[in-house]
Structure 1
Amino acid sequence: MKVNVTREEFEAFDRATIRGSIEGIAAGLAISIPASLAAQRYLPAYRALPLSLKALGAVLVVGPAWAIQTERRGVEFDEEHNWKGVSRQLLDNAKAREASEWDSLSTKDRFSKWVARHQYKVILGSWAAGMAVAGTIIMRDRHQSTSQKIVQARMWAQGLTIGVLIAAGVLTHSQREDAAKHHAVDHSWREILEAEMREAESRKVQ
């Protein structure tokens, strides 16, 4: 892994993240715009929503897609250009061990581990899905005015936000407890030094 980064490498990394941003925004719009058009056509409750709430729905899709794809392209660039030689070998070995451990897990353990890895995606997705369901139910009520429905939607949003914060706290606490039970010391620096020494000795012999 490189520590000193040249201007050219930094600009290349910047281009990779910009590419990821464009891909994420495009993917988010590709999902949110057709969904919004379909809801506008087939759901009278959605047509009654103000434009600001419709725009918020698109932002809730585009924002996470943008952030996730930008980070993904940055990580891919770092692994491809900066992890070389011994560091690359250790990274590949770690991925192989992780894949082997994943294959040995049961379905329940896989689900738990997947949720732990993607807890923020799961939490945000649950919040967005809950808001969509609540909004649909509220907007179908013909006995309330639009302003009353908006107030109820805002109350649901506040309640779901509190629930999301509680869920995030529970997941974080459980992860800390699990990490404390299975505490492992990181010896990757030692493995790198040993591998570099073996490589240097091999070059001397040759």
Structure 2
Amino acid sequence: MPSPTIAQRQADHDALQKAIVSDSLFAMGGTAIAATALSFIAFRFSPWYRGTPISAKTAFILAPTIGAFYIRGEHVSTEFRRSKYMAQLDPHEREAILNQRARIDARSSMADRSIHFVNEHRWAILGYTWLVGITGSLLYLYKKKGMTVTQKAVQARMYAQAITLVGILSTAGVASLGDKSENKHVQHNSAALEAALAQDTRVGPSAAAVTAAVVSSKNAQTD
């Protein structure tokens, strides 16, 4: 796989930034419209919501809108880099990696798939964790008397930070489990590479080279 030139890297960077901005703005706009519509519906049918301060109503709209912008941007960045890497491979390497990934997924347990899902969507999970934390905290503190709006906002932020910290520690623990799972696959790939190199006289240099290239590509993707 040839190394990209400076011009290619700049073009990839520009394409990535364009994709992130366009998709993130689209997600932010859609979320803002949906959140505003829900706010109007709640204002129309809920006396409790009509009694909430304007700052809380604004937070109910802005929090998911800003969260959607950052979460969508992170997702687009990850998918862009993955598709770019796959596009740089030749068809045989790409097919071999896809087949190997399918075999790994087929023999993976539910726990392994869950760990993989959490690692793939870590920032989205943390973003929604913060959103749920700040929303739940505002709803909880609104019922408390004897506190000003500023005090409730500060207290809600502290609760949300504590909940998000728990989410960060939880996803970090899941990531460490995922690293152990990936190490098992790396050890398996390394053993397959050594076997291919050791048996190159029996299977032929071309077959050994193809096997070594496929395994090396998988290791590079894992790193």
Same fold (TM over 0.5): yes
Q: Secondary structure at the match of 2:56?
A: coil
Query: What letter corresponds to residue 30 of structure 1 in structure 2?
Result: G
Gaps of 5+ in 2: 43-48, 198-205, 213-223
Report 1:43-192 matches (<5 A).
43-44=49-50, 45=52, 47-49=54-56, 51=58, 54-80=61-87, 82-84=88-90, 88-141=91-144, 144-179=147-182, 183-184=186-187, 185-186=189-190, 187=193
Q: Is the 8 A contact 1:139 1:149 kept in 2?
A: yes
- Cα distance in 1 for partners of 2:32, 2:95 equals 37
Asked if residue 31 in structure 1 is aligned to residue 31 in structure 2, the reply is yes
Structure-2-length-normalised TM-score: 0.66
Query: What letter corresponds to residue 26 of structure 1 in structure 2?
Result: F
Query: Once the two structures are superposed, what CA deviation does each residue of 1:56-100 show, in whole Å capped at 9, x if it has no partner?
Result: 4422221121222134234324433x223xxx4223212222123
Partner of 1:16: 15
Partner of 1:204: none
- Cα distance in 2 for partners of 1:182, 1:76 equals 22
- Cα distance in 2 for partners of 1:70, 1:47 equals 35
Shift of 1:163: 1.2
- Cα distance in 1 for partners of 2:61, 2:173 equals 31
Q: Is the 8 A contact 1:90 1:192 kept in 2?
A: no
**Structure of higher RCO (CA pairs closer than 8 Å, 6+ residues apart):** 1
Give % identity.
Answer: 14
Shift of 1:17: 1.0
Question: Using a 3 Å threshold, how does the CA distance of structure 1 residues 152 and 26 change in structure 2: closer, same or farther?
Answer: same
Asked if residue 194 in structure 1 is aligned to residue 206 in structure 2, the reply is no
**Count of residue pairs brought into register by the alignment:** 191
The CA RMSD over aligned residues, in Å, is 3.5
Q: Is the 8 A contact 1:19 1:73 kept in 2?
A: no
Between structures 1 and 2, the one with greater helix share: 2
Structure-1-length-normalised TM-score: 0.70
Question: Using a 3 Å threshold, how does the CA distance of structure 1 residues 66 and 161 change in structure 2: closer, same or farther?
Answer: same
Question: Using a 3 Å threshold, how does the CA distance of structure 1 residues 63 and 72 change in structure 2: closer, same or farther?
Answer: same
Q: Is the 8 A contact 2:105 2:113 kept in 1?
A: yes
Query: What letter corresponds to residue 25 of structure 1 in structure 2?
Result: L
Gaps of 5+ in 1: 198-206
Q: Is the 8 A contact 1:32 1:58 kept in 2?
A: yes
Shift of 1:135: 2.5
- Cα distance in 2 for partners of 1:78, 1:178 equals 22
Query: Once the two structures are superposed, what CA deviation does each residue of 1:120-146 show, in whole Å capped at 9, x if it has no partner?
Result: 333333332233222333335466431
Shift of 1:178: 3.8
